[in-house]
Amino acid sequence: MSAAHGYAAQSADQPLTAFAFERREPGPHDVRIEILYCGVCHSDLHTARNEWHNTLYPSVPGHEIVGRVSAIGNAVKGFKVGDLAGIGCIVDSCRECASCRAGDEQYCETGFTGTYNGSIFGGTENTYGGYSDQIVVDEKYVLHITHDEDQLAAVAPLLCAGITTYSPLAHWKVGPGSKVGVVGLGGLGHMAVKIAKAMGAYVVLFTTSENKREDALRLGASEVVVSRDPDQMAAQAAKLDFIINTVAAPHDLDALLNTLARDGTMVLVGAPATPHPSPNVFGLMLKRRSLAGSAIGGIRETQEMLEFCARHGIVSDIEMIRMDAINDAYERMLKGDVKYRFVIDMATLKA
């Protein structure tokens, strides 16, 4: 075992504080990564505060991890010491079920091992995430970074916000000619706008924050709709083919479903702590609309997404923070005061 340092929540109502723990030594197939940057996902906050009622404490969040390989096991083939590497939300899975064999480890039938808050396979030991100085992961679950090294911090959020939006956009075959709605301009939403635009779609951004209009247009939206304005919502009736809804709080789905054309689909990726009000069945039935969900993405697709983003010059818009500013960052995230992803500079943890 080797000494690791990070930041952890010890309970739902305590701020995150410095935390010392241990990582395993790299086994034959493992890669050790010195973590340079870690993005701050709203799921980190949900977990640290036990909003999904499943948190194992102490909880070290962070699943948008980028860094440099500092050690490898003797059977590792895909990485060498000094390589840049990324870790997303998944660090292991059963590798045998139909979902794992299909490369959809996020739907592993026995449950994938989360980068944090995931019991290690065959046991109950908690996993600790990227708000830390190093991590050890089987190379099968480690991503290659092809962006320029000077973009590394802004690549980190692709490991969750990027793949969580890319995967449903790809699954529902968004492309040139698609009219796509993106709901919520936060970490996930701003990536959805950039990726849908790069796929060739016409993007309509739905926001509760009028002051995000200019940014949304700059990021690639063609239209911006303030979702609290019934007239602006009515003007979009039956116009969209597909909607990706990233909102982290319960809200009225009917007003959004009503903007879907016949056979349109709204996919929910936001994961609020309490349910949305149930949608009106007639709104779905009378235009054969679908309401769907989607979880992150598999390892192969995450690699594909990273390469797609590198080719299209896509990274996240980030605000770099110190590790000890994490509790303040959570409060700002709750107020929607982040443009558009906090990324922790892990050098500040050592300092």
Residues that bind ligand NAP (CB under 6 A): 41-43, 46, 160-161, 164, 184-189, 207-209, 212, 246-249, 251, 269-272, 294-296, 333, 336, 338
Which is nearer to ligand NAP, 26 or 114 (by Cβ)?
114
Smallest separation, CB 109 to Zn ion (Å): 5
Q: Which does 93 bind (CB under 5 to 8 A by kind): Zn ion, ligand NAP, none?
A: Zn ion
Q: Residue count at the site for Zn ion (CB under 5 A)?
A: 8
Binding partner of residue 270 among Zn ion, ligand NAP, none, CB under 5 to 8 Å per kind?
Answer: ligand NAP
CB of 284 to ligand NAP, least distance (A): 21
The 43-62 site mask, x for binding Zn ion (CB under 5 A), equals x-------------------
Taking a C-beta distance cutoff of 8 angstroms, is the pair 258, 238 a contact? yes
Judge whether 271 and 43 are in contact, CB under 8 Å.
Answer: yes
Instruction: Please state, in angstroms and rounded to a whole number, the distance separating the CA atoms of residues 91 and 300.
Output: 13
Q: Name every residue whose Cβ is closer than 8 Å to that of residue 334 and which is 6 or more positions away in sequence.
A: 45
What whole-number distance in Å separates Cα of residue 92 and Cα of residue 108?
10
What backbone torsions phi and psi does residue 154 show, to the nearest 5 degrees?
-80, -10
Q: Which residues between 145 and 174 bind Zn ion (CB under 5 A)?
A: 160
Of 8 and 159, CB closest to ligand NAP? 159
100 near Zn ion, judged by CB under 5 A: yes
Rank residues 269 and 305 by Cβ distance to ligand NAP and give the closer one: 269
Q: Looking at beta carbons only, is 67 or 114 nearer to Zn ion?
A: 114
Closer residue to ligand NAP (CB): 180 or 333 = 333
Closer residue to Zn ion, CB minimum distance, 226 or 271:
271
Q: Does 198 bind Zn ion (CB under 5 A)?
A: no
Binder of residue 94, out of Zn ion, ligand NAP, none (CB less than 5 to 8 A by kind): Zn ion
Residue 53, both tokens: 């009622």
Binding residue for Zn ion (CB under 5 A) from 71, 94, 226, 284? Answer: 94
Interface residue list for Zn ion (CB under 5 A) = 41, 43, 93-94, 97, 100, 108, 160
